[in-house]
Structure 1
Amino acid sequence: MIPWVHIDTGTIPNGGGTLRLMRRGHEFSIQLGQNELMNSRLSGSEEALAQLACEQLGGAPAPRILIGGLGMGFTLRAALKALPETARVDVAELVPAVADWARGPLAEVFGGILDDPRVRLLQTDVAAPIAAARAAYDAILLDVDNGPDGLTHPGNDRLYDHAGLGRARAALRPGGVLAVWSAHPDAAFTRRLRDAGFVVEEVPARANGRRGGARHRIWLATRPGGAR
């Protein structure tokens, strides 16, 4: 069996720990401690996050999207495929090394999608553009943790509490959607979304798409108002 090789290490700001980029043949893995956060062979549910969110846009002529977490680019690639040429996609990535990997050892995985003129890569915590926006985005896609808690960065908890969900709602245009990826169900988070004024749908997704794999969850939380 081909062994895993440690390619690089990235530091999560503000004491969040370190990420390890591993490679085994043509397979890549990003790990935090004993947790594998993503694997280049398993992209189905990350792609579903973008596909499901973009379906909610109802053909908006010039949609503006915010993606929290660059990862291995699966969500971004699926969003670009679904969006028109007039779209704008901001991608917020907190860990500098992850952005560097996209143009370095993971370049073959990314396939140049960061050069798409619709894309703007922001080296920041996704909480910052959310807090700064007022009815600016048609969709906000969050894939920065293994669920609605701050696994990769303790500060991410503020994305999922009552105040954070209120900020996300304010950042969305009426009819806009907050889409959140999770490795597991979370009934308390569903209740918080509803308490924050969202219309909520919880959708199952498989890690490897139609080929199966682990069962993940995607929340589609819509800000009421507006016509889609």
Structure 2
Amino acid sequence: MIPWTLRDSTDIPEGGTLRLMQRGAEFSIMLGSVELMNSRRGGSEEALGTLACQRMFGRTRPEILIGGLGMGFTLRAALAALADDAHITVAELVPAVVAWARGPMAEVFRGCLDDPRVAIVETDVGRVIRSARTRFDAILLDVDNGPDGLSRTGNDGLYDAPGLAAASTALRPGGVLAVWSARPDKAFGQRLRRAGFAVDETSARSRTGRGARHVIWLAAKPAAA
């Protein structure tokens, strides 16, 4: 078997080190001993982009915010589901992740960063959300292993009551907050409902027809009266 090799590493805010590993054509991003993402297992991240952006049908020039670039699965799925008049802002906190996307993992990304509908901003997605007022038609969050701040405790602020209120403010009427998680979280679903969202919870496998089941929440802000 081909051994894993370290391609690069980078420190992240609040401590910890991300490592980009490669084995043949396969890539893995690790935090300590925990694998955050793998280039062969992106089915549920693709589902996040597809399910959220399918709800944009009929909207003119939809504005989409994706929190977390990862390995581009969500971004590519969103691009495939959206029309040419859409615009996607991807907020990625760790500059090295963007560099990996344009460098060693360029084949994984398949040129999606060069799509004219895409803008990459190297910042905390929470900052983008808190500064927005009825700007986005959809906000897609895949910045951690779910609403528990595994890689960065600051991510907890995206999923608590004030964070969900900020997301609601940033969304246009009828907009969608979509959240990926590695596991179920009943309390988070309840927080979404208390924040005024209409919530659908679904699961998707990490690989087509097999692999771990992950959770996707699709939380709709009420349409204007």
- Fold match (TM-score > 0.5): yes
Alignment of 1:74-85 (within 5 A): 74-85=73-84
Deviation at 1:112, TM superposition (A): 1.1
Deviations 1:130-151 (A, max 9, x none): 0011011000000000011111
Alpha-carbon contact 1:16-1:154 (below 8 Å) kept? no
- 1:1-228 correspondence runs (5 A): 1-13=1-13, 15-209=14-208, 211-226=209-224
Whole-Å separation in 1 of the counterparts to 2:207 and 2:183: 15
Deviating 4+ runs (over 2 angstroms):
none
SS in 1 for 2:184: coil
Q: Conserved in 1, the CA contact under 8 Å of 2:92 and 2:120?
A: yes
CA positional deviation for 1:163: 0.4
Deviation at 1:69, TM superposition (A): 0.2
- Preserved CA contact (<8 Å) 1:199 1:223: yes
Distance in 1 separating the partners of 2:10 and 2:218 = 31
The answer to whether the 8 Å contact 1:61/1:84 transfers is no
**Residue type at the aligned position of 1:185:** P
Identical aligned residues as a percent:
66
Structure 1 position 57, deviation (Å): 1.7
Deviation of the 1:74 alpha carbon: 0.6
CA distance in 1, matches of 2:76, 2:146: 21
CA distance in 1, matches of 2:149, 2:15: 10
- Structure 1, residues 139-173: CA drift from partner, whole Å, max 9, x if none? 00000000111111110000000000000000000
Alpha-carbon RMSD across the aligned residues, in angstroms, is: 1.0
Kindly provide the amino acid, as one letter, of the partner of residue 207 in structure 1: S
Q: Match for 2:177: what amino acid?
A: L
Q: Distance in 2 between matches of 1:112 and 1:139?
A: 23
> C-alpha separation between the residues in 1 aligned to 2:220 and 2:183?
20
Q: Which amino acid aligns with 2:42?
A: S
Q: What is the CA–CA distance in structure 1 between the aligned matches of 2:5 and 2:57, rounded to whole Å?
A: 44
**Contact conserved, 1:11 with 1:97, CA < 8 A, in 2?**
no
| Deviation by residue 1:103-151 (Cα, 9 ceiling, x = unmatched) | 1111111111111111000000000110011011000000000011111
Partners of 1:223 and 1:125 in 2: CA distance = 22
CA contact (8 A) 2:54 2:82 kept: no
Displacement, 1:61?
1.8
Long gaps (5+) in structure 2 = none
Unpaired segments of 5 or more residues in structure 1? none
Return the TM-score normalized by structure 2.
0.98
Q: CA deviation at 1:226?
A: 4.2
Letter in 2 for 1:34: S
